[in-house]
A and B are shown apart, each in its own frame.
Chain A
């Protein structure tokens, strides 16, 4: 059982997750570009 995170731990964890999701969108864009433009 993992204890709940404190407020600041949650801030760090969710910020990091948000960053990762933004970069995933970039990843999807990269796939789109490579498929569309060819390499």
Chain B
């Protein structure tokens, strides 16, 4: 396989950051040369454990996902009967919990847990990044920060799905879709926290804001809170769950949120640049890939002899 310029750069950066020895460097280079150019051929042939092969998320990130997942659903389930308290279905629900006062207390308590999760997450990514910078292992391309590459990847992926391109773009640890989703969630959380706190502490917000805007702000927040909630619910139910449960290759469930690991197949298909880093960081992965290529007879033959032959032929013609 001939690596693109950006893939070559990612590989070089990873080898430099991991202080790879000359022997390992040669091993990695020799392995990559023998990879077939068609990545579909590669990921359809690698052996994958359904619950995941390669490290992706730390225990902190998994815990935060779990907390977000529980708090999000509980907030949605309790928020709706608070908003439509006199609807025919809301009354029995509220009285089942012990009255609307109890539903509101549950909603607010869970909201505190959600805010705690957001703080926990910000601390995790901040300290994680600082540690990586200190160790000299930080690479912005490996982070969730959106880059111009994501715009090109998005375009190329659409071209691929429209059959105007024969390979999916070579994407990094977080692809464009994940970055959009992540920042949508971050924005949504902020809106929910700001608007929710304005219901609970209107006087504090009124003391912070200029007098002329305080009442207007309350009105705006009263509109934002339920609408942002509905938007988030739609995104989760029809986009996120499709991507992690129903999409071909993920059905019936992607295990990453529990095991923190991604399957080798998925890594090569959607996060090939991260897979290159895996080849640098996990020596066993190199052996595994080499064995697979040999057993399936997928090793790309070196092109040198053929080129030599053509060169001689041309010379002979002259």
Contacts and interface: CB of A to CB of B under 8 A. Distances in A.
B234 A27 contact: yes
Contacts of B227: 39
Contacts of A27: 233-234, 236-238
Contacts of B77: 26
B230 A30 contact: yes
A16 B236 CA distance: 14
Interface residues of B, number: 33
A24 B44 CA distance: 31
Contacts of A30: 76, 80, 230, 233
**What band does the interface of chain A fall in when counting residues whose beta carbon is under 8 Å from B?**
20 to 34
Interface stretch (B30-38, B45-53, B97-105, B182-190): B45-53
Interface in B190-241: 223, 226-227, 230, 233-234, 236-238, 241
A24 B263 contact: no
Contacts of B84: 33, 37
A13 B230 contact: no
A37 B82 CA distance: 13
Interface of A: 1-5, 9-10, 12-14, 16-17, 20, 23-24, 26-28, 30-31, 33-34, 37, 39
The 3 closest A-B pairs by CB, nearest first: A27-B237, A13-B253, A2-B48
